[in-house]
Amino acid sequence: MPRIIMHIDFNSYFASVEQQANPHLRGKAIAVAGKAGGDIHRSVVTTASREAKARGVKTAMATWEAKKICPELIIIPGDPQKYSEITERFLTVCHKYADAVEQFSTDEVFIDVTSGAGNYFGASILALMIRRDLKAACGSVCTVSIGIAPNKLVAKLASESVKPNGLTVVRPADVEDFVKSRPLADFCGIGRSTEKKLAELGVTSVATLRQLPRTQLINLFKSQGSWLADASHGLATDVLENDNEAPKSIGHSYTFPHDLHTIPEVKKNLLAMCDRVAWRLRGQHLVASRVSVYVRYGDFGSDGCAKLLHIPINDGLTISQNAWALLSPRLNLHRGVRLIGISVSDLKATKPPTSLFRKDRRMSRVVHALDVVQTKFGQNSWHRASTVSTKFLERTSGWHYDHLAMANKT
């Protein structure tokens, strides 16, 4: 049975949320970049408002570059908490109108409205109702572009085709023509590299892509080749993914305000980052069997490696020890460390601690106590002594000891 899939895409998501929250920002060129407390100068634009886009500011553009082309640009640090609250409201509205909802990213969902809408006319009415409810739930500044089509691939192309505030319906009979009108770069699955490779073959449009034999595409692009052949006709067997699936990996990466040149600096930051990853891991009751570490140097060269562990782990210190063992033999400090990325994967549900050693059992009690503190007092409620400067410790030690004492009682 043919399906009716709707793709809903928040326009300039983070920027709209900021403009909704602060009326002074409405109608102005703003960009969301970095996070509160982070270094904005080494960040890129996460989202540009409609007004900023009109002046040439684009997503992923370096903030200094954005400022250069749009001097009046107001840069706002990102507020993940705020956005996830709005996303929750967004999802609640979607669930009201469809059984199957796939959250594709913070600001995009696919919903299957086959049974709820009945036909494409019904789906258009549904889209208008969703738009009305979203305005009520998220604010009048927030607009969405909606695409309706027989599959995810075309629904996404459709929503992308009219921005902002578009509603594009592509009935099955119109798929071939509609797809032909779209640029290759708009296809979800054709990135810069594939686009370039296709251009070298003389393929710069859907029409020219259709002329290449499927066998040739498969030879050149392996499994992606077959997908390309289908996509050029708007054919896809994509299904809505279940939202409740556990994550496959959890990671954290950070660009330092200044490149690091010493081992203690690297180790200290690595440990703090591993603690954050471990905290999220435990929050989802998971343990990890693979640790991956990635480094970007001042010259923008990079290096990374990964290791499978025999015993699954979920505490920051152990993750950090493994990451350091991987990283240290290949680390080149002369180049300056710009970014470190740490990621854990091969995730499984946590089992109760089984170690026979008293030291390990004691450590898991400490980790649990610290989790309790962090849940109650937030992300910066405790730090390892080894990850903070002496000055910082002197300034804040009283505060920390108070909280640690409380944690032990808990």
Partner DNA sequence: TCTGGGGTCCTAGGACCC
Which parts of this chain interact with DNA (CB under 7 A)?
A: 38, 41-44, 46, 59-60, 62-65, 104-105, 107-108, 156, 187-195, 222-223, 247-255, 280, 290, 296, 298-300, 303-308, 338-339, 341, 343, 345
What is the DSSP-derived secondary structure letter of residue 48?
A: E
Q: Rounded to whole angstroms, how far apart are CA atoms 203 and 195?
A: 8
In the complex, least distance from residue 147 CB atom to DNA, rounded to whole angstroms: 12
Burial degree of 53 (CB within 10 A; 0-12, 13-18, 19+): buried
**Nearest residue (CB) to DNA, 70 versus 117:** 70
Instruction: Give the torsion sign (CA, 49, 51, 52, 56).
Output: positive
* Close Cβ partners of 18 (under 8 Å, ≥ 6 residues apart): 25, 30, 32, 76, 79
Output the smallest distance, CB 376 to DNA, in A. 22
Residue 211 tokens, joined: 């002329």
Q: Mutual orientation of helices 223-231 and 214-221 as an angle, nearest 10°? A: 140
Tell which residue, 378, 381, 379, has the closest CA to residue 401: 381
Task: Give the separation between CA 323 and CA 286, rounded to whole angstroms.
Answer: 18
Least distance (Å) from DNA to the CB of residue 408?
Answer: 29
Closest CB to DNA among residues 52, 339: 339
Catalytic residue among 88, 108, 245, 265: 108
> Least separation, in Å, of the C-beta of 399 and DNA?
25
Closer residue to DNA in complex, CB, 88/394? 88
- What's the Cα-to-Cα distance from 22 to each of 6, 18, 30, 73, rounded to whole Å? 30, 6, 12, 16
Nearest to residue 176, comparing CAs of 157, 197, 195, 159?
157
Instruction: State in angstroms the smallest separation of the CB of 315 from DNA.
Output: 17
Nearer to DNA, 337 or 407 (CB): 337
Report, in Å, the least distance between residue 208 CB and DNA.
17
Q: Closer CB to DNA, residue 235 or residue 406?
A: 235
**17: three-class secondary structure by DSSP:** helix
Coil, helix or strand for 248?
Answer: coil
Please state the closest distance from residue 40 (CB atom) to DNA, in A: 9
Of 218, 219, 157, nearest to 189 by C-alpha is 157
- According to DSSP, residue 300 is labeled S
Q: Are 286 and 349 in contact (CB under 8 A)?
A: yes
Nearer to DNA, 240 or 407 (CB): 240
DSSP letters, 123-146, are HHHHHHHHHHHHHHHH-TT--EEE
Question: DSSP state, 274?
Answer: H
Tell me if residue 108 is catalytic.
yes
* Token pair in block for residue 253: 């990466």
**What residues act catalytically?**
108
